[in-house]
Structure 1
């Protein structure tokens, strides 16, 4: 049996920090799905999520000797992914200045093939408006909202990823929810 698989997570991480590529490979296998989903929600397409996931693990491998363990490995890894997603977004924004909406395939998958056509049309409009409203939030509110509401991180984990106190995360969430509520009022009434 593969001795790396038999190691507890902390031992596997310690071996990877010491340069054991097999141990790091196990960490990649373990965390790849979560990192990929995290990035997909931020970049909106599979190709970019694939590339950024690879970049995340490459950056993690390069920075792993400096990982001090002050945060959970997953939280540290998501921080790297978030920074790469921000850089990607900034490059894309420089190339084109428009609000990104969900692509047709993503909407179709979310809505399903069956159902009321008028209801589907209304839901499409609501989803598009929500995506625009989220995109219109200031970056710090948008990231806090995505980390806690969409990625399922705790307030503490979101604070570590963003390098921000928990109270600030709470404030950003509350202000972001208020803004979204105001912008979505006509769609949800």
Structure 2
């Protein structure tokens, strides 16, 4: 049984230190995923808080039919989508919700990549972010998205092609570089909000 799955099993049984360790390992992935889905640091932070609150409530019922990472990101996806829907309904965009890359990611290339990622259709962006930024396998991403593995492969290919077309070959992930640093490092690891939840 992989380490994350063992931690999840212990956390499900009420081991708070296992839950804390699980959170510290998965928090960066949750934050990056929420950030890239929303394009907004504040929504990403709120999504992380709400995701972990829901995980704590739902963990006793986790049946391990998928990996803990896939299950957790499915929750993060629903939470982020709900927050985005709330934002659209309220139409209260503040100045702080405009594009604001993390200081460590302020290079021109990183900004260009983030802007191009934001221009991708949501399904393509999600497939690319899950596989290249978060690090899920194509199979895990397919489960999370509720589609076939081939569909995810196609979406990732189309996302890469669009990035290459719009940015040039030097600053975007290529088909032979599935873990491209240029994309994977975008967004940083996010704030360490789990310590406020647990």
With structure 2 as the length reference, what TM-score do the two structures score? 0.65
**CA-to-aligned-CA distance 1:146-173 (integer Å, 9 cap, x gap):** 1112222211121122122111100111
Q: Give runs of aligned pairs for residues 103-122 of structure 1, distance below 5 A.
A: 103=100, 106=102, 109-111=104-106
Find the residue that maps to 2:154 and give its secondary structure.
helix
The answer as to whether partners of 2:118 and 2:125 remain within 8 angstroms in 1 is yes
Match of 2:47 in 1: 52
Distance in 2 (CA, whole Å) between partners of 1:130 and 1:17 is 39
Distance in 2 (CA, whole Å) between partners of 1:74 and 1:60 is 11
Q: Give runs of aligned pairs for residues 1-189 of structure 1, distance below 5 A.
A: 10=5, 12-18=7-13, 20=14, 22=16, 23-94=18-89, 95=91, 102-103=99-100, 106=102, 109-111=104-106, 123=108, 127-185=110-168
Say how many residue pairs are matched. Answer: 164
Distance in 1 (CA, whole Å) between partners of 2:26 and 2:88 is 28
Which structure dedicates a bigger proportion of its chain to helix?
1
Q: Which has the larger radius of gyration?
A: 1
Query: Structure 1 unaligned runs (5+)?
Result: 1-7, 112-119
With structure 1 as the length reference, what TM-score do the two structures score? 0.67
**CA-to-aligned-CA distance 1:64-103 (integer Å, 9 cap, x gap):** 2332211111221112112212222333344269xx8632
**CA-to-aligned-CA distance 1:27-84 (integer Å, 9 cap, x gap):** 3344334323433344445443332212111111222233221111122111211221
Q: Which has the higher contact order (CA 8 A, sep 6+)?
A: 2
Q: How much has 1:129 moved relative to structure 2?
A: 4.7
**CA-to-aligned-CA distance 1:103-161 (integer Å, 9 cap, x gap):** 2x63x5334xxxxxxxx7xx3xx655543432232211110011112222211121122
- CA RMSD, Structure 1 to Structure 2 (Å): 3.3
Distance in 1 (CA, whole Å) between partners of 2:113 and 2:6 is 43
Q: Could you say if the C-alpha distance between residues 28 and 132 of structure 1 is closer, same or farther in structure 2, counting changes exceeding 3 Å?
A: closer
